[in-house]
Amino acid sequence: MAIYPGAQFFASYDAGRGQRYYLFGTEASFAELIGYYKTQTGERGDLVFKDPPTQMFIGGTLARFREETMAFPPSVTVKDWTSGGSPGYPNPKRGAQPQRFPTVIMIVPAPPGTPAQR
């Protein structure tokens, strides 16, 4: 799964059934990330929330969701943290730069050994 160049890793969490999800912050705009992930996944993505803008990419080159072996569908979610005048998502690393990220990416890969969708 492609990670936007220059994105900073925040943390990963157990999603269950052998999956993890990974959070990244980036100084790139929401629009830049949407364009990047449209190209990477081969999908338009779905705007799942208008405010704050949150777009999900499921399908395309990502593995197909298998309910019997996965907790979440393999996906990329991009959220605009500057919506409504917010200064952005606070950097979880104290004293690190930037102090805030305009956009956050959540990546949920398929469990290890799952074939990619074609």
Q: Is 118 part of any domain?
A: no
Q: Is 72 part of any domain?
A: yes
Q: What percent of the chain has pLDDT over 70?
A: 84
The pLDDT score that the predictor gives to residue 76 is 93
Q: Is 2 part of any domain?
A: no
The pLDDT score that the predictor gives to residue 101 is 98
Q: Is 47 part of any domain?
A: yes
Q: Is 84 part of any domain?
A: yes
CB 56 within 8 A of CB 75: yes
Nearest residue to 78 (alpha-carbon basis) of 117, 52, 114:
52
Structural domain range at position 103: 19-108
How many beta carbons lie within 10 A of that of residue 5, not counting itself? Answer: 8
Q: Is 69 part of any domain?
A: yes
The string of pLDDT tens digits covering residues 27-38 is 999 999 999 999
Q: CA of 23: how far to CAs of 10, 67, 85, 104, 115, in Å?
A: 5, 23, 22, 7, 23
Q: Quick one: average pLDDT of 58-85?
A: 80
Q: How many domains does the chain have?
A: 1
pTM of the model: 0.87
pLDDT at 75 over 50: yes
Q: Is 113 part of any domain?
A: no
Could you give the maximum distance between any two Cα atoms of the chain, in Å?
43
Q: What percent of the chain has pLDDT over 90?
A: 66
Q: Is 43 part of any domain?
A: yes
Residue-averaged pLDDT of the chain: 88
Contacts 24+ apart (CB under 8 A), 84-91: 84/51, 84/52, 86/52, 89/25, 91/8, 91/25
